[in-house]
Amino acid sequence: MSKRVLTTESGAPVADNQNSATAGVGGPILLQDQHLLEKLARFNRERIPERVVHARGSGAYGYFEVTDDVTAYTKADFLSEPGKKTETFLRFSTVADSLGGADAVRDPRGFALKFYTEEGNYDLVGNNTPVFFIKDPIKFPDFIHSQKRDPFTGKQEPDNVWDFWAHAPEATHQVTWLMGDRGIPASYRHMNGYGSHTYQWTNEAGEAFFVKYHFKTNQGIRSLSGEQAAELVGKDANSHQTDLLQSIERGVSPSWTLYVQVMPAAEAADYRFNPFDLTKVWPHSDYPLRRVGRLVLDRNPDNVFAEVEQAAFSPNNFVPGIGPSPDKMLQGRLFAYADAHRYRLGVNHTQLPVNAPKATVADNYGRDGYMATRNGSRHDKNYEPNSYSGPAQTDAALSAPLAIHGWTGTHAAPQHAKDDDFFQAGELYRLMSEDEKGRLIANIAGGLSQVSREDIIEKNIAHFAAADADYGKRVEEAVRALRED
């Protein structure tokens, strides 16, 4: 039987479905990668009108207050001095389930934050985990398809979930997070938020730094066991929404302290593992947390549809002093998020109140399209440059340029001295108490034991064993015991 050839939608053969095309090894992704753009664009259009991911969400308004001086690292105006406050909107969400899904489920949580700054809106799109399952955006549609409802059975299938992870050894770290105690937060208030990706900060002198964001909950971490979550879902499927709404209405304003890890840009190339790999964390011993400020939520939306459902976050919404890094997952999302919103909400979604700038005014040449509310007058030109005092470019870059070199093509991620898909997962496992390990093993075995194919089970067990021998052995024994019952 001849092997089937993967093709694009135009029928052309696909040479590489594992790695996006970049400008040299480790460089930014190229717009010419038609296969990547086609996959992401099609993926964003698979559901109408619900979000494909992060459909089930809650949100609230608040403010961010700077507490510490970080001007040595960034020229961002909203971070310019202690005491400065910026209005914010934060949307929490589950990732895999639909809009009608329950809140208390085992799933990563979205943590999407919009800063309404005086230099325009800055969107920081992250999760409640510091890592993710994959490191290249070309695999994102495949990953989500494996976690979503099966097209035949109409429900999530363990075979699909674990088969994808069996072919993605880099997912072992995030799987260990997800199946551990923090996999089901007790509420949105009782979990951390992370930018997850690596971003670039640039100071007034033009010096570049790479940063990771950590929002530490001031309410303390609280999580649910699988049994507690199942009971809570039976009582109130909207438990997290209920908790967030009622706490703010009572005047109990949840808050988080923002810390960042800061890496001088020059250190990235020779760091012992790829610092732009979304499946890894930077050890705090290498880059300690530096406090930046405090995020407070103090106002509920008046209309959930208008302000939570129609809220649109795009990680390419930067402000001067903040920009992207070569993180391939971030690079893919710079396109995918904005494209999803243009599809779901229309090309003028940025004019909706929840998405429009509040501390400044959008002034550009975008006109017309569905639901346009800002079309200009007879005196306003719709081209640039012009001789009629229209808005003009500043010639001031938002962030420092990224150096690139090498040949274009579909490159695997650059190899650093100690790149490894399993080491950090093993470190996380060894940090756990014996009780935590027991619950982790039980959660993994509960799902993995339902897989119908032995080879898929064996591949996943091999990943856990590569992270830690005891980890793999205990998963294997727990799966065998459940399959023999």
* Active-site annotation, residues: 54, 127
Is 385 in a helix, a strand, or coil?
coil
Asked if residues 186 and 223 have their Cβ atoms less than 8 Å apart, the reply is: yes
Q: How far apart are CA 125 and CA 223, in angstroms?
A: 22
Nearest to 463 by CA among 225, 250, 194, 162: 162
Q: How far apart are CA 324 and CA 201, in angstroms?
A: 9
Name, in order, each residue with C-beta under 8 angstroms of 8's C-beta and a sequence gap of 6 or more: 14, 34, 35, 38
Q: How far apart are CA 6 and CA 113, in angstroms?
A: 38
Dihedral of CA atoms 65, 70, 74, 75 in degrees, nearest 10, equals 70
Asked if residues 322 and 399 have their Cβ atoms less than 8 Å apart, the reply is: yes
Does the CA dihedral 90-45-53-212 come out positive or negative? negative
Asked if residues 60 and 300 have their Cβ atoms less than 8 Å apart, the reply is: yes
Asked if residues 460 and 447 have their Cβ atoms less than 8 Å apart, the reply is: no
Asked if residues 394 and 376 have their Cβ atoms less than 8 Å apart, the reply is: no
Hey, what are 198's tokens? Answer: 């690596």
Hey, what are 46's tokens? Answer: 């698979």
In angstroms, how far apart are the furthest CA atoms of the chain? 80
Tokens 């690079």 correspond to what residue?
A: 331
Tokens 């579909």 correspond to what residue?
A: 410
Asked if residues 318 and 199 have their Cβ atoms less than 8 Å apart, the reply is: no
First to last CA, the chain: 38
Does the CA dihedral 189-187-89-40 come out positive or negative? positive
Dump the DSSP string for 225-264. Answer: -HHHHHHHHHH-TTHHHHHHHHHHHTT---EEEEEEEEEE
Residue 214 one-letter amino acid: H
Q: How far apart are CA 266 and CA 268, in angstroms?
A: 6
Hey, what are 380's tokens? Answer: 């306003």
Q: How far apart are CA 430 and CA 192, in angstroms?
A: 21
Tokens 């920081």 correspond to what residue?
A: 124
Cis bond upstream, residue 49 (ω within 30): yes
